[in-house]
Structures are given as C-alpha cells and as structure tokens.
C-alpha cells in the first residue's frame, strides 16, 4: 500500500501518515522519508480508547531484484579467508 508520510513519529526513527478514514499509521525506520509517498506493509494494529493506530514497515524494494552472483571458485582467497580467529 502506498502512504504519504506527513510528520515525524514519537520515536526518532518513526514517521507518521494517515489513511483516508483518518487512521494514523506509524511507519518504522522512515524518519528520513517525511513528505514522501512510500510503499508500506502493515505489521500490527492497536485499538486505543479514542482511535485505532496501525503500525507498518517499509516494503523492501530490493527483494524482487535477482541475488548477487557468488564469487567464482577459481578465485584465490584473500589472506583473511584462511585465518582462524
């Protein structure tokens, strides 16, 4: 779901947006994205005496990208790969 983040949250890493019905959505680790529209995924809801609050996280846009290629086996290891620590 796409959501516009309009203000900072209570915690320093949070940002807040609102659904069309006025429900407040707190988005984790989005404090640097205020005044932007982001894709979110809901993770939990909380019913307070006065309203419902939703909590969300940013959708990882990298999960649909192909994985990185592994290093070829014929490459020589670096000096640190052979040491035991």
- Tens of pLDDT, residue by residue over 11-62, are 999 999 999 999 999 999 999 999 999 999 999 999 988 889 999 999 986 5
How many residues can be counted in the chain? Answer: 85
Instruction: Copy the structure tokens of residue 76.
Output: 């020589």
- The answer to whether residues 45 and 73 touch, using CB atoms and an 8 Å cutoff, is no
Convert the pLDDT of each residue in 57-83 to its tens digit: 999 865 545 555 565 666 555 555 555
Collapsing DSSP states into helix, strand and coil, what is residue 65? Answer: coil
């Amino acid at each position: 779901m796409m959501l516009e983040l309009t203000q900072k949250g209570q915690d320093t890493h949070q940002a807040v947006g609102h659904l069309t019905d006025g429900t407040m959505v707190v988005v984790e680790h989005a404090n640097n994205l205020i005044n932007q529209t982001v894709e979110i995924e809901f993770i939990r809801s909380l019913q307070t005496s006065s309203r419902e609050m939703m909590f969300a996280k940013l959708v990882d846009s990298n999960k649909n990208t192909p994985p990185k290629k592994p290093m070829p086996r014929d490459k020589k290891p670096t000096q640190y790969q052979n040491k035991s620590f």
